[in-house]
Structure 1
């Protein structure tokens, strides 16, 4: 039969252990939420111009190549 032994743990060590578990989970959810928000906002001109056009590999895809004479405003 296995014996259980309980070790006392300092409050600082207990909070570090709990925070390590939460930081990983919150990081994954944060990246997912940021990606979803960027995907949903990618149709707005402000996000295209200020953020997506400055991404090194994808910037040329999001650049506005419409001539000024064809823009209504």
Structure 2
């Protein structure tokens, strides 16, 4: 009986099968952390104006007009 060797590619010990199994899990956790960071940073005006107001249906929720009495200009 002859022994046959198979090439199993890996990078730092991660094979394509292992990576394919973990990518969806990391994607879900990464998305949840990203959304949590956005809502945590919601009070910052730049995040509110540049990112959150651009959401198609819900963007008008983050529009906060400044009262003319409070405006320094």
Aligned to 1:70: 69
**CA RMSD in angstroms, aligned pairs only:** 2.2
Unaligned runs of 5+ in 2: none
* Cα shift at 1:25: 1.4
Aligned to 1:17: 17
Aligned to 1:52: 52
More helix per residue: 1 or 2?
1
Distance verdict in 2 for CA 1:10–1:70, change over 3 Å: farther
Aligned to 1:41: 41
Distance 2:41 2:9 in 1: 41
Distance 1:28 1:52 in 2: 20
TM-score of the superposed pair, with normalisation by structure 1: 0.72
**Number of residue equivalences:** 65
Unaligned runs of 5+ in 1: 1-7
- Which of structure 1's runs of 4+ aligned residues deviate more than 4 A? none
